[in-house]
C-alpha cells in the first residue's frame, strides 16, 4: 500500500511529518516507520517535544489597553483619520 520508508527518508521527512505537511499516504508511511523503528523513534519523540515546547512560547501577555488608543492617535496625527 505504501512504499517502504527507510531511516534516511524518515529523518529527511521528520519535520514535514510533525508539521503534517506530507501527503496523507506519506504521513501514514512515515508514521509506521517511526512507530516501529527503535533508531528513529527517540529522535521523533525529541523533535515532537521540542515543537510542543516552542508552541508554548506564544506570547500570553494581553495587549496593553493603552496601545489601541496610541495607534488611533498616531493615525489621527498622521492625518489619516478624522
Partner 1 sequence: MESGSQPVPSPVREDFDREVLAWMDDVYRFAMSLTRDASKAEDLVQETYLRAFRSWQTFQPGSDARRWLFTIARNAFLRGLERERHHVSLDDGDPDALGAIQHYAGLVTDGTDQLLSRVDLAPALTDAIGRLNEPFRSAVVLVDVEGQSYEEAAAVLEVPIGTVRSRLFRGRRQLQEMLAEYARDAGFAAARAPERGGDDA
Continuous H helices in 2-81? 7-12, 14-18, 24-36, 41-55, 65-77
- Interface residue list for partner 1 (CB under 8 A): 7-9, 11-12, 14-16, 19, 21, 42-43, 45-47, 49-51, 53-59, 61-64, 67-68, 70-71, 74-75, 78-82
Pick between residue 1 and residue 57 the one whose CB is nearest to partner 1: 57
37 binds, among Zn ion, partner 1, none (CB under 5 to 8 A by kind): Zn ion
Contacts 24+ apart (CB under 8 A), 50-59: 51/18, 51/19
The grid coordinates listed for 29 are 508511511
Instruction: Give the whole-angstrom CA distance, residue 57 versus residue 36.
Output: 31
Residue 3 interacts, among Zn ion, partner 1, none and using kind-specific CB cut-offs from 5 to 8 Å, with none
Shortest Å, Cβ 40 to Zn ion: 3
Amino acid at each position: 500500500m505504501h512504499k517502504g520508508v527507510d531511516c534516511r527518508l524518515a529523518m529527511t521527512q521528520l519535520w514535514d511529518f510533525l508539521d503534517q505537511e506530507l501527503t496523507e499516504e506519506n504521513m501514514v508511511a512515515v508514521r509506521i516507520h517511526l512507530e516501529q523503528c527503535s533508531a528513529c523513534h527517540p529522535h521523533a519523540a525529541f523533535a515532537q517535544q521540542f515543537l510542543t515546547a516552542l508552541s508554548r512560547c506564544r506570547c500570553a501577555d494581553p495587549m496593553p489597553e493603552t496601545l489601541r488608543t496610541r495607534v488611533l492617535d498616531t493615525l489621527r496625527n498622521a492625518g489619516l483619520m478624522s
